[in-house]
Structure 1
């Protein structure tokens, strides 16, 4: 059975938001100087393993040729994630996107991603047909049941999107938190829109957050 082991003990409860500039409410700096950013908690890192010389014929029914391929599911876990049938009572999250390589070098996960599994390369010492090899990559995971931290305002996920809330974590840094106030920290700002350039944000904007994509600037205001 293929298993992904998370290096971190827990899944991320929030993702740091990159700050381009902010109002005096967040920083004592004057003007709109760029602030330093917080890296935030790392996303779960995982190493995949398969039996040496394993082939499709000996894998449990329902497992595909690719470990955690799009549409496949993982089990519950904080330190270990096992690929299971999506109809299984053990199924906890579904793969919504799967890419080879490192996250920093590859495409961004979909906006509704709840968490990301980093899969380390595994190559059995003896593998005649190549089926046992698992290349380095990452799987973008969506939980099968709510709550979904990746949803707008959910307080987590690998991306900051319109509708998310953040709070000041000190030293000119902000972090994402749940908009409903049920997170560890109460929300201070909500990202209300995304634009190509911060000059296009509405006058009520007090915080500019880097989102990435074709509209990389998030316009945030106090909640």
Structure 2
């Protein structure tokens, strides 16, 4: 059995409210105004709505939008902001256990709690429970092969034993808290497809659920 660790954060309601309010737009004008000199009516001018800041949208933390890092919460920010720290590479409703898997090199997952504010951008008054698969804008990238983290174990990752048939991922370069003991060299559909030199089988999930690992 393979145990994975992931970063988890719940977006605080105050942060979510700040995001939703940025989408409000207004336009002035409407109807028609009278030209006293000519006795004619002319169309009234309408001021264009101001552009929405980059990085905000109708969906909280949609694909290609960015978040900041915080001690207790994450907020959506424009990707051009100096506060931007990670980008959404995939976004799904529901829970991680029930929904699609994040891309292989995802660095961490944000778990978004359901919110029901009095007003939101698309007008339905709700933000459903979901999760965002995140990739750091700058290194390090723990989700890369051998990086020592991320929500998934992939080919190129290293693990160490916890006992009782369990393992945990660690950095292959030895700079993590624990030294690597095995490295996943191949992903296959069944144990029988692993090379004869395989010393450990690691559960990966997906279409090739078995990882063939060799001693480091």
What TM-score do you get using the length of structure 1 for normalisation? 0.77
Segments of structure 2 that go 5 or more residues without pairing to the other structure are 26-50
- In structure 2, the CA distance between the partners of 1:127 and 1:94, relative to structure 1 (3 Å rule), is closer
Q: Which has the higher contact order (CA 8 A, sep 6+)?
A: 1
The RMSD of aligned alpha carbons is: 2.2
Aligned residue runs from structure 1 range 78-117, under 5 A: 78-117=71-110
Q: Is the 8 A contact 1:55 1:132 kept in 2?
A: no
Divergent runs of 4+, >6 A: none
Distance (Å, rounded) in 2 between the aligned partners of 1:166 and 1:127: 44
- In structure 2, the CA distance between the partners of 1:127 and 1:192, relative to structure 1 (3 Å rule), is closer
Instruction: Name which of structure 1's ranges 51-60 and 101-110 shifts more when overlaid on structure 2.
Output: 51-60
Distance (Å, rounded) in 2 between the aligned partners of 1:132 and 1:87: 28
- 2:136 paired residue number: 143
Distance (Å, rounded) in 2 between the aligned partners of 1:126 and 1:96: 27
Query: Which protein has the larger Cα radius of gyration, Structure 1 or Structure 2?
Result: 2
Segments of structure 1 that go 5 or more residues without pairing to the other structure are 1-17, 20-37
Shift of 1:124: 1.4
Distance (Å, rounded) in 1 between the aligned partners of 2:214 and 2:74: 38
Structure showing the higher strand proportion among its residues:
1
Aligned residues: 187
- 1:46 paired residue number: 10
What TM-score do you get using the length of structure 2 for normalisation? 0.79
